[in-house]
Amino acid sequence: MHSGLESAAARFPDHPGVLAGNDVWTYAELQRASNAAARHLVVQGIGPGDHLALMTTNRPEFMVVVNAASMLGAVPVLLNAAWKAFEVDTALALTAPRYGVADGDGVGLLTERLGLRSVLDLDAETASAVVDRTSDAQPPDYTPSEDDDAVFVFSSGTTDRPKAVRHTHRSMVLAIAHWRLALGLGHDDRFQVATPPAHILGLLNLLTATSAGATVRLHRRFDLDAELRAIQEDRMTLEMAVAPIALAMANHPDLEAYDLSSLRYVMWGATPVTPAVAETVTARSGVRWLPAYGTSEVPVIAANPVGEPDRWRLDSAGLAVGDVELRVVDLTSGAVLPSGGTGEIEVRSATAMAGYLPEEATAAAFDDGWYRTGDVGWLEPDGWVHLTDRCKEMIKVSGFQVAPAEIEAVLHAHPGVVDCAVFGVADARAGEVPVAAVQLARDAEISSEELQQLVTETLAGYKRLHHVVIVDVVPRTPSGKVLRRNLRDEWAPRLTTASTGAN
């Protein structure tokens, strides 16, 4: 997995690899720091097969430690810097790391669990000697096997407790090649990363940029104005966005004030595109969107054809990338469906994960070698994939499957709606009925009843909203996925009684 950095350092030693604030790390400096960090890990007793907890914000040292661990055959366990004690405990119980590297609150959380001498604080004065950009240390004399574990990332856990996703060196190297192909990424590209590095998209962006010798600007936290300024001042060539970033761009009052002309596109990932949001950004900025699709378990699945802008579409995540094969199976019987049939999307690719921790969860994730994405959708005859929803998030109304995303698309099209999420609550007659949590624009003058009427006028009767609740913010994961379970847990007890019999 670290071969991308070795190649970039050899080909482009003085080229900026990472921009962090006013700090510039060249590829030669990233390689030297990785060699030094690897030597430190060896002194701590870390070697092939050992697990290393990594809990940091977006910073150059994250890339350094990931590459250092890879050189040793150790396995980074990527923990989200926003996690609390319960989530950290769950992850550590699954992966049993021997050492930790962290910043911020992660230092205390890992120190309490691994011990004072088993955690490197990247903000401590001594850390600069560990991650030394001027080091003359040599890389470790070790070559991992392509089938060895390379990294553990965690599934989002929107419908279940998070699981550790095991990727090998082979699956990650191939995924990097697929992502570089999907993005059309080259040495002259510049883009920025604000998504958490522990998420598969954040990790993949960083590793792919390195393999291409491109330049990445890191942001410790999402600040739209800072990102827009960076596009303008650094002449970024592409931008990454998940749903919250896209929503923020569409609703930014001064979007037109920024010069975004250097961008080739904005990539939309992690969730299906909301056309009304994407079209608003394009109309205001002139920048188009490149939808793509991946999961923690299969990092790159599909993307719009980057080299053919005339074929880009907002209604599809695109075509399968590289060696990826796609099929759709019936939600009940599991039978493979013909083109146009709606069911669960399954994927077969050499980039698929090796499995989960806990190991007993792996078998259910595959169907005769095909990874079961849990995503509902359909395929056109020529391979364009359409995502409609998640299997476990479908709302079953009187026997009909209702996709929350379909109702959300109607609501998002209303100018007074900033964000929304649809979920189901129990109903004695229908089984479940749809409910929407809606975040309104500050000065919006629209009632819940008007939004209900909008959906009724637009969609089939069984898809009508039985309740609209106004919220301050729609809860989402850092990758942009709606936390429907949280909304359901909060609102179902209040609404179920009112919904009973009201069909």
Residue 484: the pLDDT is: 87
Encode 115-124: b = buried (16+ Cβ within 10 Å), e = exposed.
Answer: eeebbbbbee
Nearest to residue 43, comparing CAs of 165, 110, 137?
137
Q: Which residue has the tokens 């921009």?
A: 19
Distances (CA, A) of 278 to 53, 212, 275, 445: 37, 28, 5, 23
Residue 329: the pLDDT is: 97
Residue 428: the pLDDT is: 67
At position 197, the amino acid (one-letter code) is P
Q: Own/partner pairs for 275-278, CB < 8 Å, 24+ apart?
A: 275/314, 275/315, 275/409, 276/409, 276/412, 276/413, 277/243, 277/246, 277/247, 277/250, 277/412, 278/246, 278/314
Q: Give 217-262 as a DSSP string.
A: EE-SS--HHHHHHHHHHHT-SEEEE-HHHHHHHHH-TTGGGS--TT
- CATH number, residue 83: 3.40.50.12780
Q: Which residue has the tokens 């007793």?
A: 45
Residues 263 and 248: their CA atoms lie apart, in Å, by 18
Distances (CA, A) of 50 to 96, 168, 279, 435, 441: 9, 14, 47, 46, 49
Residues 192 and 221: their CA atoms lie apart, in Å, by 12
Residue 496: the pLDDT is: 61
Residue 499: the pLDDT is: 44
Alpha carbon 198 to its chain centroid, in Å, reads 9
Domain boundary among 195, 221, 247: 221
Say if CB 239 and CB 267 are below 8 A apart: yes
Nearest to residue 123, comparing CAs of 140, 139, 104?
104
Nearest to residue 151, comparing CAs of 219, 72, 61?
72
Q: Is the backbone of residue 323 left (phi > 0), alpha (psi -120 to 50) or beta? A: alpha
Residues 168 and 350: their CA atoms lie apart, in Å, by 10
Residue 501: the pLDDT is: 39
| SS3 category, 57 | coil
* Longest CA pairwise span in the chain (Å): 74
Residue 157: the pLDDT is: 43
Those residues with Cβ within 8 angstroms of residue 349's Cβ, 6 or more apart along the chain or in another chain: 174, 298, 301, 322, 323, 324, 325, 371
Q: Which residue has the tokens 């990874």?
A: 371
Residue 409: the pLDDT is: 86
Residue 408 within any structural domain of the chain: yes
Residue 24 within any structural domain of the chain: yes
Domain boundary among 193, 221, 249: 221
Residue 45 within any structural domain of the chain: yes
Distances (CA, A) of 202 to 14, 49, 57: 24, 23, 11
And the tokens for 217?
A: 């600007």
Residue 381 within any structural domain of the chain: no
* Domains held by the chain: number: 2
| SS3 category, 164 | strand
| SS3 category, 390 | strand
Say if CB 203 and CB 42 are below 8 A apart: no
Residue 315 within any structural domain of the chain: no
Domain boundary among 199, 221, 243: 221
Q: Helices 27-43 and 3-11 sit at what angle, rounded to 10 degrees?
A: 140
Residues 407 and 48: their CA atoms lie apart, in Å, by 49
- CATH number, residue 420: 3.30.300.30
Bond into 358 cis (ω within 30): yes
Residue 208 within any structural domain of the chain: yes
Residue 399: the pLDDT is: 60
Residue 317 within any structural domain of the chain: no
Alpha carbon 296 to its chain centroid, in Å, reads 8
Structural domain that includes position 177:
3-221
Q: Tell me which residues of the chain have a pLDDT lower than 50.
A: 157-159, 497-503
pTM: 0.83
Q: Which residue has the tokens 């994939």?
A: 385
Residue 108: the pLDDT is: 97
Q: Tell me the torsion sign for CA atoms 109, 63, 178, 143.
A: negative
At position 259, the amino acid (one-letter code) is D
Residue 143 within any structural domain of the chain: yes
Say if CB 99 and CB 116 are below 8 A apart: no
Tell me the backbone φ, ψ of residue 272, rounded to 5 degrees: -60, 145
Read off the pLDDT of residues 286-312 as tens digits, 9 standing for 90 and up: 999 999 999 999 999 999 999 999 999
